[in-house]
Amino acid sequence: MQKITLPIKDDVIRALKVGDSVSLTGVMITGRDAVHKWMIDTFVKKSRKPAGDDAEVYEALKPILDGGAIYHCGPVVAGLDTGAYSFVAAGPTTSIREEPYQGDVMQHFNIKAVIGKGGMGPKTLEACSDVPGVYLHAIGGAASLIAQSVQQVLTVHKLDFGVPEAIWVIDVKDFPAVVTMDSHGGSVHVEVETQSKAQLDKLLAS
Amino acid sequence: MPDLTEAFLELVRLTSTDLPPDVEASLKRAREQEAPGSAAQSALDTILENVALARKNSTPICQDTGTPIFYVQHPPGWSTTKLKGQIRTAVAEATKKTYLRPNAVDTITGKNSGDNLGDPAFPTIHFEETEGEDLIVDLILKGGGCENVGAQYSLPNGRLGAGRDLEGVRKVVLDAVFNAQGKGCAPGVLGVAIGGDRGSSYYASKEALFRKLDDENADSELAKLENRLTQDANQLRIGPMGFGGETTVLGVKAKSLHRLPASYFVSVSYMCWAHRRRRMTVHGDETIYE
Ligand code: SF4
């Protein structure tokens, strides 16, 4: 298990290979469908003008994401009425829905680690080579354990997107994950699918 | 007839927060089989740690607490209407206590009911009158990620070269496991039903999941099929979470149903590693959980 502290330097990213187990410590944000679309439309493609607190949130996110991590997660959060937030359950959600956006978002903010489950496609893999960055697979279903690794909820942006879709800024300690896409073009997802297909063909013929 | 609302609430709490011993033991054995230091082993370590933590804190093992599926066997004379009412009250209460996540979404309006009570089919409750004196209630919490990778086939299937026999069944089930990759939170347990119509077949594939992992099928042909499928599926080497590795499925449970001469369905229900399944038996004044 390799310990990694956020923000992450390029040489640390380049040294990571698919199959490596890592544990992350530092400040990261959650972001899923609504957040990715908002980032692309407002700041990357600029197809809509910043409105409300958009510009402010953007400035707040930039330093966290520079060398940082984004987690595909729709958490269950306690303390919504008091503002004393804490994470109760925080397993990963399926990442592939962000495939159209993820690569551009990584490039724009210099994001080094994308965390989720199920893996991502060729556009994200390419961004992993360029930025450079990695895709970290969290363990699906390990909701209690991951929530426990969240030491503190620092703040929340865009709560109007809804609790699961908001941008939660969290301070994590020893968040467990596995590198399944690296900065050298390696993808466990492509490997396992290819290899299991060959095995399936054999088993169907036997 | 006693009011069992509290007993049902405890059944839900136990099911959501405390993984059954046979499943945990099987995950531990799987962990031993993976190469030391591999991603597969590390995934299983995290899973086992999470299971222990959920048990200790009485928090959901996974945030997706799924569809509650109850299977009630009752002695003659019990009111199923009352039992249903008590189960629904207990489910709403369990949601308030965060043992369950609100999971019942109106398909037309998109609105979440907030208490896990939907139309009469949500939660799913199946009643069966039996000869015995005990009330036996089985509960499974069936997650969404793994439900999405379930599959149904109509044999023969030309693409897979699968005919209308157990060999054909083997082929289509392996195809379903391949298509699922790690997306159903592998290593999973497969409920397989052969025969029936499309509806009864899917239902039976869920019923098969109520069996314990270590219990052997009474039908020797099906027992053989279960073992063969477990071995073959693991040869696909999809592994925990789809990271590659020794264990892709923890077990296979099969069931056969009579069918029409014209139809031959095979239904596969994929249950993730978080195989939340518990039983409650009411025997006189005593309530026993296992
Ligand atoms: S498939 Fe199972 S373990 Fe995975 S997220 Fe869904 S309920 Fe949880």
pLDDT in tens, B185-232: 999 999 999 999 999 999 999 999 999 999 999 999 999 999 999 999
Q: Domain containing A52: what range?
A: 2-205
Ligand 1 centre to CA of A27 (Å) is 26
Supply B203's token pair.
């239902």
Name which of A21, A91, A119 is nearest B62 (Cβ-Cβ): A91
Residue in chain A closest to B60 (alpha carbons) equals A144
Ligand 1: atom nearest CA of A143 is: 8
CATH 3.30.360 segments of chain B: 5-15+61-143+276-289
Tell me whether A137 touches chain B (CB under 8 Å).
Answer: yes
A23, containing H or E segment: strand A21-30
Specify the number of domains making up chain A. 1
- Cα B254 from chain centroid (whole Å): 13
* Tens of pLDDT, residues B241-266: 999 999 999 999 999 999 999 999 99
Supply B259's token pair.
């069918």
Ligand 1: atom nearest CA of B273 is: 3
Please name the residues in contact with A133: beta carbons below 8 A apart, sequence gap of 6 or more: A13, A106, A111, A112, A113, A114, A127, A183
Asked whether the beta carbons of residue B175 and residue A76 sit closer than 8 angstroms, the reply is no
pTM over 0.80, yes/no: yes
Asked whether the beta carbons of residue B178 and residue A200 sit closer than 8 angstroms, the reply is yes
8 Å CB contact between A183 and A133: yes
What CATH architecture is B5-15+61-143+276-289?
Answer: 2-Layer Sandwich (3.30)
Three-point CA angle B158, B161, B163, nearest 5°: 90
Q: Is A36 a catalytic residue?
A: yes
CATH number at residue A129: 3.20.130.10
C-alpha–C-alpha distance, residues B199 and B126, integer Å: 14
* Tens of pLDDT, residues A134-166: 999 999 999 889 999 999 999 999 998 888 889
Q: Whose CA is nearest to atom 8 of ligand 1?
A: A141
Query: Mean pLDDT across chain A, nearest whole number?
Result: 95
8 Å CB contact between B52 and B108: no
Q: Could you give the 3-state DSSP secondary structure of residue B153?
A: strand
**Complex ipTM over 0.85:** yes
Contacts by A41-47, CB closer than 8 A, 24 or more apart: A43/A108, A44/A104, A44/A105, A44/A108
Q: Among all chains, which residue has been given the structure tokens 């594939």?
A: B205
